[in-house]
A and B are shown apart, each in its own frame.
Chain A
Amino acid sequence: MSDTLLFALEATLNGLTAGVMYALVALGFVLIFKASGIFNFAQGVMALFAALTLVGFQSGQVPFSHLINAIFGTKLHHFGWNMPTVLAIPATVLVMIALAILIERYILKHLVNQEPIILFMATIGLAYLLEGLGDVMWGAEVKALDVGLPKGMSGAVDDMTFAWFGYGFYIDRLELWAAGIAAVLVASLTVFSQYTKQGRALRAVADDHQAALSVGISLRFIWVLTWSIAGIVALVAGIMWGSKSGVQFSLSLIALKALPVLILGGFTSIPGAIIGGLIIGVGEKLFDFFMQPVIGGATENWFAYMLALVFLLFRPQGLFGEKIIERV
């Protein structure tokens, strides 16, 4: 096999694993859009907030310590203990559920029957609020996140591909884990939505709000449920991306990676988010591999959007999205 082909194959494999990382972020958007028709601008910030909270719990940091110290002149910073990851993750999940309840009670409840653009604007406000809250609660310094996931080159893949091709492929073990976690997440979401009462109620609301209300499904409960699940998905995305490069405020920008995935896969399809992520991941890696010598790299940001734009021309609802037919 020629070197170029081997390198292209390696880039493709890395594109697939990177695509899973993008899909993890896109999943949160899909869940909320599917259930409530809201494009949640705050999804990236939710991932940041979840990761900040997790690190805060792990390190035993006193929330709002800077504020408390400034007001009362105290010198509080840490509780003096570290919370094990197995406890810190459920504790963070509880915080994300509490957040979902607050969002429903103080934002969504008051915006029922409003235009989608109003709801979208509300999520922009929520994004700023959460970013500020995260800063005041946990501080803005860069934090290392370690939940015990392995990082670095996979020796097994390296050895195996070396035995086959005489060239060892590089795959990041963290991204391999991300692929496994994403598979479990999607399987759990599918089982939940197909085989549980709440899951069926969620699908009913997604299909038709008014019909679901007429058979006694509580819209408010479903919204809390959806935002809680999206919060948990945000936590998973925050853990994977935070483990990669630390938890800092730029983590919220991972949402930008999800947008082309959503355009491509469709805003209403969970498999679409996964397939879209994989296409974007592989597409950008291969494009960079072949075009870097010509145009000098740094193509990731615009290439993903360009690819999504091409799909948009031919399939505006995305690969798996529902076709919107409006009759006058």
Chain B
Amino acid sequence: MKMRRLATAFVATMIAAAPTLADTLHFPSLSYRTGPFAAGGIPFADGYSDYLTLINERDGGIGGVPIRQSECETAYNTERGVECYQSIRGDNPLVLQPLSTGITYQLIPRTIEDGIPMHTMGYGRTSALNGEVFNWTFNYPANYWDGASVIINYLLEENGGALDGKKIVLLYHNSAYGREPIPTLTRLAERHGYELLTIGVDSPGQEQGSQWLQIRRERPDYVVMWGWGVMNPTAIQEAANIRFPMENFIGVWWSGSQQDVLPVGAGAHGYKALAMHGTGMDYPIYADMQRYVIDTGKQAGTGAEVGTVLYSRGMYAAMLAVEAAKKAQEIHGVAAITPAMMRDGMANLEITEELMAELGLPNFGPAFSVSCQNHGGSGAAMIQQWDANAGEWNLITDWIQPDRELIMEMAMEDSLAFAAENNMTPACLN
């Protein structure tokens, strides 16, 4: 009797809840809070979730429709990422953020088939910036090839416009992610006359003795790093050990968070990394974040990560998703948008300096616009440098533009090859 009553109550609750589920905007998060890369996954997931919570609490959702969040644990494992996708694909996910290049490659054909937009901010398949081939994948505001080009442009600026005769080592995570910048750096080496030496590190990268012995022997002018997880602090520690000048060691944006430098201590002082967005708490948005999310105890994590590099990245990804949803609502005149409408919002997204200031994030990210032909934004990034004494990252440049002409040329080659392999005819969807 008791069981029957319970079952009746359960069914009644589900019926009552059903319209609520349909009248929400579903933003799933493919996060990794466990496993060997959890230290990087947690702050990103927290930043993503906290921003969406802020929009719900402060604005009542987007266009009056509340946001519904869901989280699926991938442990940064490609198979588990695909399983997560299978579990949420039928639940009207507005945009997927797989947070892994390996998962992205697996999901590209699936999302094309299912008509679900995917945002791979600063990771994933670089040539997805050709929106005529990759209609459902977006990688604004910057991709790996942009990052590699920004580093070379920065080094050109540092060396009076010439890198002839310089030796640059690329120390990369031996994975799809780590190998992404090799074609760009090779092409740029031909153009600028520097010597490129690529050295791989097997995942996870706790032992890099051989690599750094080789770097010590080769005496390069600069070391560029495409690392992730424990590979980053290990490499920075090894660089400090061999007394490599830290100001000549530059990491990609995935090698430039607090987790990468703090374990090394004073030895990491002067290390540089790309920054695709600002960091720290000096943005007006944090007043609202404090009031509506942290003070009310609604934050996703412990609050200790707020304002760190990877938290800021998660927050930025959520902000771009919310702005795309607003754009979609504006284009279609509908508040309860579908994934296909969200795609249109992403394909027509325009981020201006004024909008960033209005959102409480002045100069936090670059101004850019997205189009059918260009899903990759502007590609601009800044350079930040670690101050071990103050324990903070300092931005040392303004936005540096990549060599977009070369990158578009390379992206066209790669994306058209993908289209030919898959019998696709490149075209805009709308």
Contact = CB atoms under 8 A, between A and B. Distances in A.
Interface string A49-82: 0000000000000000010010001000100000
Interface in A8-64: 10-11, 14-15, 18, 21
A225 B72 CA distance: 41
B106 interface: no
13 contacts: A132-B34, A144-B265, A152-B240, A153-B242, A170-B216, A170-B241, A172-B241, A245-B233, A248-B230, A249-B36, A250-B230, A296-B199, A298-B199
Contacts of B202: 298-302
B204 interface: yes
Interface stretch (B37-45, B54-62, B77-85, B410-418): B37-45
B234 interface: yes
Interface of B: 33-39, 42, 174, 198-204, 206-207, 209-211, 213-214, 216-217, 229-230, 233-234, 237, 240-243, 259, 262-265, 267, 297, 302, 304-305
A299 B262 CA distance: 28
A300 B210 contact: yes
A319 B302 CA distance: 50
A179 B302 CA distance: 39
A184 B34 CA distance: 35
Interface stretch (A84-92, A93-101, A133-141, A191-199): A133-141
A292 interface: yes
Contact of B302 (A139, A143, A246, A292): A139
A297 interface: yes
A11 B206 contact: no
B210 A289 contact: yes
Contacts, number: 140
A285 B211 CA distance: 9
Contacts of A140: 33-34, 38-39, 42
A209 interface: no
Contacts of B200: 296-298
B237 A151 contact: yes
Contacts of A153: 241-243
A147 B267 CA distance: 16
Given A73-B297, A152-B241, A7 B210 contact: no
B295 to A, nearest CB: 12
Interface stretch (A104-112, A115-123, A252-260, A264-272): A252-260
A250 B233 CA distance: 12
B206 A250 contact: yes
Contact of B34 (A11, A135, A253, A289): A135
B299 to A, nearest CB: 11
Contacts of A144: 262-265
B209 A18 contact: yes
B263 A245 contact: yes
Contacts of A141: 39, 42, 259, 304-305
B216 A285 contact: no
Interface string A279-299: 000001100110010001111
A51 to B, nearest CB: 12
B209 A245 contact: no
B210 A246 contact: no
A140 B240 CA distance: 25
Nearest to B212: A170
A244 interface: yes
B237 A245 contact: yes
A170 B304 contact: no
Contacts of B34: 131-132, 135, 140, 249
Contacts of A288: 210, 214
B36 A252 contact: yes
A305 to B, nearest CB: 11
Contact of A253 (B206, B241, B242, B262): B206
Contacts of A285: 209-210, 213
A157 to B, nearest CB: 12
Contact of B263 (A10, A139, A246, A297): A246
Contacts of B241: 151-153, 170, 172
Contact of A241 (B33, B37, B42, B206): B206
B238 to A, nearest CB: 8
Q: Which of A14, A135, A250, A301 has the most CB of B within 10 A?
A: A250
A14 B215 CA distance: 14
B264 to A, nearest CB: 8
Contact of B174 (A132, A170, A298): A298
Nearest to B241: A152
A14 B209 contact: yes
A50 B265 CA distance: 21
B217 A142 contact: no
B39 A248 contact: yes
B265 to A, nearest CB: 6
A195 B242 CA distance: 43
Contacts of A257: 206-207
A5 to B, nearest CB: 13
Contacts of B211: 297
B206 to A, nearest CB: 6
A132 B214 CA distance: 38
Nearest to A143: B263
A244 B203 CA distance: 16
A241 to B, nearest CB: 7
A248 B233 CA distance: 11
Contact of A297 (B42, B207, B210, B262): B210
A159 to B, nearest CB: 14
A89 to B, nearest CB: 19
A38 to B, nearest CB: 24
A253 B36 CA distance: 8
A250 B38 CA distance: 9
A74 B370 CA distance: 45
B294 to A, nearest CB: 11
A139 B33 CA distance: 11
B297 A146 contact: no
B209 A142 contact: no
Nearest to B34: A135
A146 B266 CA distance: 12
Q: Which of A141, A151, A247, A301 has the most CB of B within 10 A?
A: A141
Nearest to A18: B209
B265 A245 contact: no
Nearest to B238: A172
A10 B213 contact: yes
A250 B42 contact: no
A18 B209 CA distance: 8
A292 B39 CA distance: 31
B297 A246 contact: no
